[in-house]
Amino acid sequence: MAHPAQPVAIGERQTGVGLALTNPAGRTLYTYRLDKGAGSHCTGACAITWPPLMVAPHASLTSSVSLPHALGTIARPDGMQATYDGHPLYLFAGDKAPGETKGPAVMQLWFVATPVGRASMVTPGPAGTMTPPTGIRATAPPTVRPLRALIPPRMAPPRVPVVPNPIPQGGGGDHDSDNFGGPNDGDGNV
């Protein structure tokens, strides 16, 4: 007789960025801005840094707290992934202990999953600014230096001393156009 799979219980805990959803071990869960519709866009190398919260076949997905939005699952090539409010849930490999929230500083694409659900994601504001919803603290975007700052300054060419021209200029001194010399230069021009 097969034993039923262990249920996956979603919890919540207070973190440095506010109330966050957690996996059964108390680690912070995240959502990915590029996930649209009913699928995950974090696969391959992305899923190594951002492991999806997987749910074993025939396991139930529950909550240890009262959540205002629905829990669910989506199919991935490697199994079933937990969702909250329609968003796939992930862990961050950089978080090593329960309550850590190092993930939101990554490229403004990852957000701490909160009981508020979709409304907790930072949304674009006027003129391309990022405005968090009321009660949500957004992390500062990474410092971006303009490309010009990465290019070394152009070096000025070395100064070459100007040597006066030994050939008389302005008609060669004899006012003819050959620039060969004075009145006795043999060209018949004076």
Domain residue limits, the chain: 8-143
The span from the CA of 52 to the CA of 35, in Å, is: 12
Q: What is the pLDDT of residue 6?
A: 78
The span from the CA of 173 to the CA of 133, in Å, is: 84
Helices (H), 15-155: 45-49, 147-150
Alpha-carbon radius of gyration of the chain: 35
- pLDDT averaged per 10 residues, the chain (length 190): 72 91 94 85 92 91 89 91 93 93 82 80 38 42 51 66 66 55 57
Q: What is the pLDDT of residue 130?
A: 39
Q: What is the pLDDT of residue 122?
A: 44
**How far is CA 75 from its chain centroid?**
26
Q: What is the pLDDT of residue 58?
A: 84
Give this prediction's pTM.
Answer: 0.61
DSSP 8-class letter at 41: -
